[in-house]
Chain A
Amino acid sequence: MSGHVAPKSMYIGVWLALVVGTILTYLAALVDLGALNNVVMLVIACTKATLVILFFMHVRWSSRLTWVVAASGFFWLLIMFSLTLQDYLTRGWVAGTAAGIITPFTGR
């Protein structure tokens, strides 16, 4: 068997990065940055997920086929998000079509 054996120090380094990311995202959420709050939390979450996939899940040392399959899962997720939002975010844009089925909730 010829699996890549990574040094223990690498795993501990990745773990440290994940811990730092968790604390950073917690602290950033306490500050009101407006719309940037979402950007910051998602950038940190995606970075953490990428670290786990590449190093803990060994994708960095896996075959190209594994890369394609792993990436395709997220690709299909993006297709679902974008096509669904194309519907929800554009309702009522065209004259004569019904305004959003989901309307912003503004109070009690």
Chain B
Amino acid sequence: MPESQSSYQPAPVAIHPAPAAEHPPTHPWLQHHFDSMEQQAEASTLGMWVFLCTEILFFGGLFMAYIVYRHASPEGWQEASSELNRFWGTTNTLVLICSSLTMALAVRAAQTSQSARTQVSWLLGTMVFGAAFLGIKAIEYYDKFKHHHVPGPNFHWDGLYPKPAEQFYSLYFAMTGLHALHMIIGLGIMTVIAIMAGRKTFDAEYYTPVEVAGLYWHFVDIVWIFLFPLLYLVGGHFKGA
């Protein structure tokens, strides 16, 4: 209504005031309680790190149990660990490292305003590696069920240390199970982020969801970086008793 602007100025409506002079035109993804996109990104990243601190201690409790029970029977744990499949363990470590690289490149693609197609490709690559990890984990779990190495009434151990072995496998399933659950949740998050990326949501101005999802994904990778040697490699040079 250009003519009304020239002849008649309506009073500003109280519930929807005109933008004040100190607020430049805002980004559609900027929430009203933040001053700028930078501030919003900083708050989100910091919030994610606070969550990751709780995750460190969540997994930390299991690592604490690992230290105490392994200390109680070092040889028993070596024997139990030597039955894990080191080939699949090492392969899975490499698979997760590759998924972290594709995740980092997905964040970079969003940061540098690359096409939605490029962003989605890196995210899908991350999901393929993540799914491969879970597939290999399923093969390993199946093998453990087949050989009665799952703690419980059907647990069977031919070695010298059946009770420490049962303890080891209790923690093995608790730790890798919790880790696998985090991977499954991570795949769900990646699905959402990939759909958002496909809708051209992310560019150099706004990529915080990709960045924060990346923080989660890398954290889960770090947990595995410690689980791999502590579970799979402890029995690496076990000669048998």
Q: List residues of A whose CB falls within 8 A of some B CB.
A: 1-3, 5-6, 8, 11-12, 14-15, 18-19, 22-23, 25-26, 29-32, 37, 41-42, 44-45, 48-49, 52-53, 55-58, 62-63, 65-66, 69-70, 72-74, 76-77, 80-81, 84-85, 88-89, 102-105, 107-108
Contacts and interface: CB of A to CB of B under 8 A. Distances in A.
Contact of A52 (B49, B67, B107, B225): B225
B237 A1 contact: no
Interface string B60-87: 1101100111011100100000000010
Contact of B229 (A14, A41, A85): A41
Most chain B beta-carbon contacts within 10 A, residue among A2, A11, A73, A104: A73
The 6 closest A-B pairs by CB, nearest first: A29-B236, A73-B53, A29-B233, A105-B73, A41-B229, A73-B56
Contacts of B52: 70, 73
Contacts of B196: none
The bracket for how many chain B residues form the interface is 35 or more
A74 B56 contact: yes
Give chain A's interface secondary structure class: helix
B190 interface: no
Contacts of B94: 19, 22
Given A37-B237, A41-B229, A52 B206 contact: no
Given A65-B46, A102-B71, A77 B97 contact: no
